[in-house]
Structure 1
């Protein structure tokens, strides 16, 4: 059996892995794992990843979890162009620096904003205290400022003049932020920064990511943004009307982080009795 990737393309980390593999012509068998159906908690999937998260990789008898580890494994095994994960010591360190910061900063802020701004009030019927939402959006704004001032600065990409896995991880996260809400509903500063980054980034890498618009349906949607923006591969919004509140076994909400009984990100009692926390990383 060749390379197998266990993905749910509603997940930002899964999309980064999928786009990276497609862009670099890496042959793989897609093994869909539907988070909203709780498939990541199945016994079969636990044999692949005991963490019960996506993405996951299976390469013969070897299995691997965590999107960053998977991206680096693929870049090394398949000898992709050097710019994705540079051999130059300092350029590589810049990529590593961003990847280390991303999961606890930008990803966390974007995920909290998505759940508090859309998932809880619109699809779960749970109201978010205004002060909680305001705090979350302020943190998102701070992370966007850091992304621009600390990592991008006056460079084309995070690690310099060429795109790297750091940029791919960043762009899938930012696109997800705008896919769940009209850009006008974001705070003014966040709106301007996010719009600017997503407007410029794909023009630096043409064609954007190398994934055709006729590809996977979860990657084929034009951003709900001004007509001057280029089409970008982002999470399909068509699944939202059929979204149903996750069951205890299939919870994918970033709620109590595995402790159970604590308060959810909406500020109310945690509805996740098993407290599984983020289902993708």
Structure 2
């Protein structure tokens, strides 16, 4: 039975796994969970993921509900052993370094969401960003830019799924209308490199633009009116 992948294209964690599947050429059964209909909160999906969050991945009797564990699982199972530049390292010490950066990116992503005030905005309880988090977000951009000053990619000198995760973390800031990108020349070069991947536009750039459009409408017009106009434009 084919792998079943439960996701939505506007979910950054979903898109990280989606890109791993595409890069590895793994066949999978697509299960789109409609976030706009709150399908992820329903009893049917709870049978897949009792946490009622996306993404989720099923492979036979194995069910995973955390995007990074899915990426590691897919790479470990499907990436050829003789492949030189792997999406996920096999050496123990390299894995340790990789995991450290991966966990750092989890923190960075949460900082971006705090700046966007995402939970309260999408609950209709706030209509503004939390400006105090902007310096922390810029520090994150500086951190990634410094890494990329020494390497073409985020880890190991070649493409890994950490590039996918970090690309989504950084793209999340676009929802705020941030305009200071020109200061980060290494980030710009890296994004240009990633943009050559055949799936990058669909999985990162299109997703980031759509999320930004939706978020801007909700900020400007409130939750109900903003979502109504956003859905009418789709």
Same fold, TM-score > 0.5, yes or no: yes
Deviations 1:89-131 (A, max 9, x none): 433322211111111x210122222346xx839x947344xxx
Alignment of 1:53-202 (within 5 A): 53-80=53-80, 81=83, 82-103=85-106, 105-115=107-117, 120=121, 124=124, 126-128=126-128, 133-149=130-146, 151-178=147-174, 180-184=175-179, 188=180, 191-193=181-183, 196-202=185-191
In structure 2, list runs of 5 or more residues that go unmatched: 225-234
Which structure has greater helix proportion? 2
CA deviation digits over 1:55-94, x for unaligned, max 9? 1101122211111000000001112544211223433322
Task: Map 1:30-69 to 2 at 5 A.
Answer: 30-69=30-69
Q: CA RMSD in A?
A: 3.1
TM-score (norm 1): 0.66
| TM-score, normalisation: structure 2 | 0.78
Paired residues, number: 216
Residue 18 of structure 1 corresponds to which residue in structure 2?
A: 18
Q: Is the CA contact 2:6–2:55 (under 8 Å) kept in the aligned structure 1?
A: yes
SS at structure 2 position matched to 1:30: strand
Paired with 1:4 and 1:63, the residues of 2 have a C-alpha distance of 9
Give 5+ residue unaligned stretches, structure 1. 221-231, 247-281
Q: 1:135 to 1:242 in 2, by over 3 A?
A: closer
